[in-house]
Structure 1
Amino acid sequence: MKNILIDCDPGHDDALAIIVALANPQKLNLLGITTIGGNQTITKVTENAKKLLGFLKAKVPLAAGQSNPLKRSLKTAPEAHGDTGMDGPFFDGTTYPLSDLSGVDFLYEKIMASEGTVTIVALGPLTNIALLLTNHPEVKGKIGTISLMGGGIDHGNYTELAEFNIYVDPEAAEIVFQSGLPIVMAGLDVTEKAEITVAEIKALQGKGRVSQLVYELLSFYNESGRQFGFIDSPIHDLCAVAYLLAPEIFKGTYANIHVITDESLARGLTYGDFRKSASKFKPTLVLQEVDRQKFVELLLEALRYLDAV
C-alpha cells in the first residue's frame, strides 16, 4: 500500500482524482489533502474540497495551502471551472473540519511522521511542494515519488506553449522538477488522451449517490470544454492517481525536465532532453500514452465501490 498526500485546487478533475483515491483504500493510504490557489482562489478551492469531502463522508485531514505563487499574482481559470472553481453540482451544506496548520507545515508533519516513504500527488500549481522542498530539504529522504499533473512537451493550453498548472507558478515547477526526486509527469501529452465520452458521462446519471455527483461535475465540465475544442472530456488530474493504481495502462519516456521562468512568450513551457546521448540524470517519467478504456473503467470501478458503501 502506498502512503499518499494529495495537493490540489478543486477543480472538477481534482474532485475525480480524490474520489478515485478514496475508493481504493486497499492500495492507497491517503494521509491528507492540501489545497493550493490555482483553478480558483485558495478560499474557493478549499471550500470546494470541504464540500466534496463532506459529501463523501471522508475522514481525511484537510489543510489550506498557499494563496499565491512564489513571485507573481495568482491566475485562475473561471473559464474552465466556473466562478466557484467547481461549478455544476449542488452540495447540501455539509461542513468539514480544516486543520489549523498551513499547507506546507501540514505536508511536512505528515511526511515526517509517516512510516516509510510518501508519494505526493500534485494536481495544481506546485507552490506548496516547492516551499516544502525548499524550507524542509530533509523531507526528500521520505518522499518516494511525486506524481503530478502539469506541463506538456508537445503543446500548452493556457498559452500556446504552457499548461495552466505550470504557467501559474513556473518558478515553483522548476524547483520541483530539479529537486532530484523521482517524478511522474502526467502532462497534456497524455491527459488529453484520457477522455471520458459524452455517452459515458450520460450513463452515470441516476446510477448512485456518488455517480450522480460525478455526472453533475462532468456535465458542467464537458460543456465548458467545448469552448476549447473538446467534444469528450479529458480528466487531466485523474491521470496522476490512475498511474499509481495501474501504471501498466500508461506508456512514457524518461527525461530531465526544465521550465522556462522568464517573461517571454515561452513562460511556463516544460521541456526535456530525450536524446540517448544526454545525461543519465533523467528523474522524470513523462507519460505519453494511456489505454483510454481501462482508464475510464478504473473510474467506473471507483464509483461502483463508493455507491455501494
Structure 2
Amino acid sequence: MSGQRIPVIIDCDTGVDDALALLFAVRHPGIDLRAVTCVAGNTDVDGVVRNTLTVLEQAGAPGVPVARGAERPLIEPVRVARHVHGEDGMGDLGLPAPTRVPVDVDAVTLLRREILSSPRPVTLVPTAPLTNIALLLRAHPEVVRNIERIVFMGGAVETGNATPVAEFNVWHDPEAAAILLTAGVPITMYGLDVFRRVVVPGAYVRRLRASAEPALRMAGELLAHRDPAASGDPTPSGGLGDAGAVCAVVDPAGLTTAALPVEVALAPGPTRGQTVVDRRAREGEAEVHGLGRERPLVDVALGVDVERYVRLWLKAVEGI
C-alpha cells in the first residue's frame, strides 16, 4: 500500500458487522474515512443513525459526518433484520446513546459533497441495501468522475441468505443493486461466498471482551453475538462480515477475484434479488441466437485469505 491514505465513504445499515467495519475504518492508518451515510436495512434508518453515531463515538473517531438516508427501498417495503441483529440492531448490548448528532443534510447530498470535494478519487464501500447509492447515481451522475472504485458487500455466487439464491442487501432493494452495476466505475462484489468465511477465532474474541478499552469490549461482544437459542458457547468465534469488505479496500490482494458478468434478477418470484453471475467459459445458446444482452463486468470475490484479513482487522482495531 502506498503512503497516501485511501479516501473512503461507507454507506451502511449499522448492525453488528457494520459496526466492526466502521471500527476498522476509523482505526486503520491507511484509511481516510470522509463520511458515513445511513440506510434502512438491519434496522430502521433512525436506529441505523443512532448505532452509527454510537460506534464512531466509542471508537474515538474524529468528527466524521454522518447523514440519514433512505428509510425504505425504491419499490419494496422496508424489511429489517432484527431477528439477526437484535431489536436495536446492535445485539441488544445496551450500548450508551450517542452524544453526537447527524449532519443537517440528507445522505445523497452528503455523498455528492464529499465525493466531489475529495482531492483524490473516493472508494465507496456500501455494506447495506443500495438505495442511497442508486439515488445518488441517478440524481448526480457527475460523481462517478471522482469515484475510484465501489466495493460493495452484497450478492452471492452460490447460496443466498434472504432466499435460497438472494443475499439480504441485494434482495432488500434489487432495483437499487441493478442501478449500482451500471455505475460505470470499477466494482468489486464482496458477496456471501467470502463474507461467511472470515471468522475471528474464539480466543481472540475472548481477549477483546476482556479488554479495558470500551471500543474493544464492544467489538468482542459484537463478534460473540449469537442467537441464544443457537449457541450456548460463552466464547464463540465471530464473523467479521461487512468488515471484510473494508479489509479488501486496504488489502485487495487478500481476495481472489474474477471479472465476470453480473446482473440482478428483478422479476417477482423465488429468484428476485439473485445476483446472476455468469461463470461460463463460452457463450451459450441464448447468445448464439442473439438473445443475450450486455451485462457489466464485476470483480467478483471467489476466494479470501481468511487468516490474512483476521490479522489485518485485529492489528488495526487493537493498535498493535
Residues 59-93 of structure 1: per-residue CA shift (max 9 Å, x gap): 21111110000001111101110111112433233
Please tell me whether the aligned partners of residues 182 and 296 of structure 2 are also in contact (alpha carbons under 8 angstroms): no
Please tell me whether the aligned partners of residues 40 and 77 of structure 1 are also in contact (alpha carbons under 8 angstroms): yes
Residues 151-184 of structure 1: per-residue CA shift (max 9 Å, x gap): 1010100111110000000000001012222111
Please tell me whether the aligned partners of residues 88 and 220 of structure 1 are also in contact (alpha carbons under 8 angstroms): no
Residue 263 of structure 2 is matched in structure 1 by 258
Residue 102 of structure 1 is matched in structure 2 by 106
Deviation at 1:275, TM superposition (A): 3.3
Residues 227-259 of structure 1: per-residue CA shift (max 9 Å, x gap): 9xxx74332201210001111211111112100
CA 1:226 to 1:76, structure 2 compared with 1: closer, same or farther past 3 Å?
Answer: farther
% same residue: 33
Residue 2 of structure 1 is matched in structure 2 by 6
5+ long unaligned stretches in structure 2: 284-292
1:148 corresponds to which of 152, 174, 180: 152
Please tell me whether the aligned partners of residues 88 and 219 of structure 1 are also in contact (alpha carbons under 8 angstroms): no
CA distance in 2, matches of 1:224, 1:6: 32
Q: Counterpart of 1:31 in structure 2: which amino acid?
A: R
Please tell me whether the aligned partners of residues 205 and 238 of structure 2 are also in contact (alpha carbons under 8 angstroms): no
Deviation at 1:56, TM superposition (A): 2.0
CA distance in 1, matches of 2:202, 2:96: 26
CA distance in 2, matches of 1:36, 1:122: 10
Residue 165 of structure 1 is matched in structure 2 by 169
3-state SS, counterpart of residue 152 of structure 2: strand
Residue 42 of structure 1 is matched in structure 2 by 45
Residue pairs, 1:125-274, within 5 angstroms: 125-209=129-213, 210-221=215-226, 232-274=237-279
What is the alpha-carbon root mean square deviation over aligned residues? 2.0
3-state SS, counterpart of residue 204 of structure 1: helix
3-state SS, counterpart of residue 194 of structure 2: helix
3-state SS, counterpart of residue 119 of structure 1: strand
CA 1:224 to 1:268, structure 2 compared with 1: closer, same or farther past 3 Å?
Answer: farther
CA distance in 2, matches of 1:80, 1:39: 8
TM-score (norm 1): 0.92
5+ long unaligned stretches in structure 1: none
Residue 295 of structure 1 is matched in structure 2 by 309
Residue 289 of structure 2 is matched in structure 1 by none
1:30 corresponds to which of 29, 33, 41: 33
Deviates more, 1:140-149 or 1:267-276: 267-276
Please tell me whether the aligned partners of residues 197 and 233 of structure 1 are also in contact (alpha carbons under 8 angstroms): yes
Q: Counterpart of 1:47 in structure 2: which amino acid?
A: R
CA distance in 2, matches of 1:304, 1:54: 16
CA distance in 1, matches of 2:305, 2:203: 18
Q: Counterpart of 2:47 in structure 1: which amino acid?
A: K
Please tell me whether the aligned partners of residues 222 and 232 of structure 1 are also in contact (alpha carbons under 8 angstroms): no
3-state SS, counterpart of residue 154 of structure 1: coil
CA distance in 2, matches of 1:186, 1:160: 18
Deviation at 1:52, TM superposition (A): 1.1
3-state SS, counterpart of residue 203 of structure 1: helix
Please tell me whether the aligned partners of residues 224 and 238 of structure 2 are also in contact (alpha carbons under 8 angstroms): no
CA 1:287 to 1:76, structure 2 compared with 1: closer, same or farther past 3 Å?
Answer: same
TM-score (norm 2): 0.89
Q: Please identify the structure whose Cα radius of gyration is greater.
A: 2
CA distance in 2, matches of 1:77, 1:7: 17
